[in-house]
Amino acid sequence: FSVKTKFKLSTCVLTKEMGAGILDYTEDEILLVAEVPKICRMEADGGPCRSYFKRYAFNLSSMRCEEFVYGGCYGNDNNFKDLQSYCYNVCRKGLAMGFSTNP
């Protein structure tokens, strides 16, 4: 599914799309997503170059760091060389909603 963020006045409303229907996030999910740093909310982007670097990106849908291939240029900041010491420490720091920190 994809995550869409909508802002109205000072209220942030998050919805997730699954197939043709749209389900509202639960209150706990809204609080959890709000604690995830901005760079970790970006989708993994391997960039247009053709090198092959194993990297990790935080997946907001699964709340886990997942492996992807980085081509060596462009992309975005959700691009970590190391799973545990960088990706999880940056993206899941302070999350205390019962999710495991194990990959």
pTM over 0.85: no
pLDDT, greater one: 13 or 72:
72
Per residue in 25-72, pLDDT (tens digit) is: 555 555 556 678 889 989 999 999 999 999 999 998 888 899 999 999
Q: Where are the domains of the chain?
A: 1-34, 38-103
What tokens appear for 38 in the block? 């901005």
Hey, how many other C-beta atoms are within 10 angstroms of the C-beta on 69? Answer: 13
* Domain 38-103: CATH class, spelled out: few secondary structures
**Which pLDDT value is given to residue 83?**
85
